[in-house]
Amino acid sequence: MKELAEYIIPFSGMKIGNYNFDYKISDKFFGAFEYSEIKKGDLIVELLIEKSETMMVAHFDIKGEIVSECAICLGELNVSIDKKYRQIFKFSDEEDLKLDDEITFVSSTEFEVSVAPFIVEFINLSKPNKTTHKEGQCDESLVAVLDEYLLVEESNIEEIDVEDEEVTDPRWNALKKLKNK
């Protein structure tokens, strides 16, 4: 992918030491990842790579804003991101038995690594699970339409939960009798 070429780090020519990379992440970057939850954003990624003989340790410092969906009215919502992550690239032809999300094995036949997939993954991990507008900022007309199609009123939800807990499947009672013997 041409648009992600700047995120490729040719580590084979790098000497042992520290290297800094700065990336500006925009909508174009997110467009390169078809399955990313985030499609819009304006972020800065400062990447520090500590290269040694056997590995590279990459420190990602991600700051900026992404555009997310409000969980109530489905309108666009700007969400601030300020997170730090670490990824270890271990030079090895044999993968260690301990699998870890923080460690990526790099074969001796490889000479470069793309940090773009890690950046998009870390940004997606930084997004809160549920984003909502502040009180009173939701699109009221859209909320009214959604409320019209709500299948269960909130007051009935508690009653349904209580009823479900009290009713037990008669098969369980038969199994309990076998357990007590």
Cβ atoms of 49 and 60 closer than 8 Å: no
- Range scoring the smallest mean pLDDT among 5-14, 40-49, 117-126: 5-14
Both tokens of 76, joined, read 């666009």
Q: Are residues 158 and 118 in the same domain?
A: no
Query: What is the pLDDT confidence band of residue 155, given thresholds at 50, 70 and 90?
Result: low
Mention every residue, 6+ apart, whose C-beta is less than 8 A from residue 38. Answer: 30, 66, 67, 68, 120, 123, 124, 127
- Between CA 29 and CA 24 the distance in angstroms is 9
Q: Are residues 34 and 110 in the same domain?
A: yes
Percentages (nearest 5) of helix, strand, coil residues in the chain: 30, 35, 35
Q: Are residues 97 and 59 in the same domain?
A: yes
Read off φ and ψ for residue 104, nearest 5 degrees.
Answer: -120, 130
The answer as to whether 134 is a domain residue is: no
Q: Are residues 64 and 146 in the same domain?
A: no
Q: What is the pLDDT of residue 94?
A: 75
pTM for this entry: 0.74
DSSP track, 95-120: --SS--TTEEEE-TT---EE-HHHHH
Tens digit of each residue's pLDDT (9 = 90 or more) over 77-106: 999 999 999 999 998 877 655 667 888 888
Tens digit of each residue's pLDDT (9 = 90 or more) over 158-179: 554 545 555 667 777 777 777 7
Q: Are residues 122 and 169 in the same domain?
A: no
Q: What is the pLDDT of residue 165?
A: 53
Domain that holds residue 108: 2-126
Tens digit of each residue's pLDDT (9 = 90 or more) over 36-82: 888 899 999 999 999 999 899 999 999 999 999 888 888 889 999 99
